[in-house]
């Protein structure tokens, strides 16, 4: 079983607006409402992959109630802590004619310390039966930047494999707590190592630097694929995986599906290269649909054969 943790859950509303222009009146050709937040998106993708998953985190107010209703409609098993403040709503506008998307995200609720302590108690209960615990997304107001790091250290002491997907200082603090896997995108990785990344040597250097900060395994995601540093049987190997070329409809949430695909493959005992191929194919399939965490697993299976995975040369000392 996989447990996903979403502290800043949301109602995600995605509007498809062809020929979208700022300052003009438009009529959406399609509207989609889903429970959202990175952890929930990952849980949705894991369910599509037939992996047992429980989504937990924080929910508040009428928006929180709506999130629970949406999760129930999708039959996603969940056990959230109800908080006093209101959960957020996020809006994305997808323009299929231009291949662009615009996101507008609210800050989210303010969380009290006693509400966080209740979540940690719930997390300890579910983690006892978990293969992985995935911490994903931004932190809401009132939560210290080292929250993920402290939670990861606690679970590490119990031998539980932890996964982290966030940004900024919470990402840096979390990596220092030595998670099993961390998955920044290129921009987040550049912030961590303090330089822009362009060629393969740059990415190989960044993988090593992030691993030195504390992460056991590292994925750096891009729209075109990913770079990875993975450990198997005490051996450390770096890879570059290139995605198949497709005509993207919406990239929103593709990174969440990528991470879900990788975790699902690891949980099934697949080797590193096969896990990367499955993950990149799932993330690519997600760009062919509107709605974070949604994809067709059969399409991902077809795309997997077109993913190119290569070993990177070690960084010259």
Written as six digits, the tokens of 9 are: 């859950």
Q: Where are the domains of the chain?
A: 2-311
Neighbours of 297 (CB within 10 A): 16
As beta bridge partners, residue 4 has 55, 134
CA distance 164 to 167: 9
CA distance 40 to 11: 10
Write down the pLDDT at residue 147: 97
CATH superfamily of 2-311: Ribokinase (3.40.1190.20)
Residue 108 contacts residue 10 (beta carbons within 8 Å)? yes
CA distance 158 to 135: 16
Percent helix, strand, coil in the chain (nearest 5)? Answer: 35, 25, 35
CA distance 174 to 171: 5
**Interior CA angle at 253 toward 170 and 216, to 5°?**
45
DSSP helix/strand/coil, 248: coil
Write down the pLDDT at residue 268: 95
CA distance 91 to 12: 6
Write down the pLDDT at residue 317: 55
Q: Which are the contacts of 98, defined by CB distance < 8 A and separation ≥ 6?
A: 19, 20
CA distance 300 to 284: 7
Write down the pLDDT at residue 238: 96
Q: For 87, what's the count of Cα atoms within 13 Å in the CB-facing half-sphere?
A: 29
Nearest Cα neighbor of 284 from 267, 270, 301 is 301
CA distance 117 to 240: 40
DSSP helix/strand/coil, 14: strand
pLDDT values of the chain reduced to their tens digit, one per residue, 317 residues? 999 999 999 999 989 999 999 899 999 998 999 999 999 999 999 999 999 999 999 999 999 999 999 999 999 999 999 999 999 999 989 888 887 888 898 888 999 999 999 999 999 999 999 999 999 999 999 999 999 999 999 999 999 999 999 999 999 999 999 999 999 999 999 999 999 999 899 999 999 999 999 999 999 999 889 999 999 888 899 999 999 899 888 888 999 999 999 999 999 999 999 999 999 999 999 999 988 899 999 999 999 999 999 999 876 65
Write down the pLDDT at residue 316: 61
Nearest Cα neighbor of 70 from 41, 38, 34 is 34
pTM of this structure: 0.94
Integer-rounded Cα Rg, in Å, for the chain is 19
Residue 112 contacts residue 84 (beta carbons within 8 Å)? yes
**Measured between alpha carbons, how far apart are the two ends of the chain, in Å?**
41
Cα dihedral sign, 204-205-206-208: positive
Write down the pLDDT at residue 133: 98
Q: For 204, what's the count of Cα atoms within 13 Å in the CB-facing half-sphere?
A: 16
**Interior CA angle at 294 toward 289 and 300, to 5°?**
80
């Amino acid at each position: 079983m996989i447990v996903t943790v979403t502290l800043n859950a949301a109602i995600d509303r995605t509007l498809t607006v062809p020929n979208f222009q700022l300052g003009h009146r438009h009529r959406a050709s399609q509207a989609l409402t889903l429970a959202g937040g990175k952890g929930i998106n990952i849980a949705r993708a894991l369910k599509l992959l037939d992996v047992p998953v429980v989504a937990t985190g924080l929910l508040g107010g009428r928006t929180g109630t709506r999130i629970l209703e949406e999760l129930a409609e999708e039959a996603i098993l969940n056990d959230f802590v109800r908080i006093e403040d209101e959960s957020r709503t996020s809006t994305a506008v997808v323009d299929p004619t231009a291949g662009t998307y615009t996101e507008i995200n609210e800050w989210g609720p303010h969380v009290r310390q006693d509400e966080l302590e209740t979540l940690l108690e719930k997390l300890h209960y579910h983690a006892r039966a978990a293969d992985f615990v995935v911490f994903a997304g931004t932190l809401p107001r009132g939560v210290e930047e080292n929250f993920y790091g402290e939670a990861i250290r606690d679970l590490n002491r119990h031998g539980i494999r932890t996964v982290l997907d966030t940004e900024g200082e919470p990402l840096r603090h979390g990596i220092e707590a030595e998670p099993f896997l961390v998955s920044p995108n290129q921009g987040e990785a550049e912030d961590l190592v303090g330089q822009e990344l362009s060629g393969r040597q740059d990415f190989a250097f960044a993988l090593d630097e992030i691993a030195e900060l504390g992460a056991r395994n590292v994925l750096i995601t891009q729209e075109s694929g990913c770079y990875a540093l993975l450990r198997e049987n005490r051996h450390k190997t770096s890879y570059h995986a290139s995605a198949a070329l497709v005509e993207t409809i919406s990239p929103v949430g593709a990174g969440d599906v990528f991470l879900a695909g990788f975790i699902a493959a690891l949980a099934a005992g697949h080797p590193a290269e096969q896990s990367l191929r499955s993950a990149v194919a799932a993330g690519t399939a997600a760009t062919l649909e509107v709605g974070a965490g949604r994809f067709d697993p059969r399409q991902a299976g077809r795309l997997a054969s077109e993913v190119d995975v290569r070993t990177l040369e070690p960084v010259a000392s």
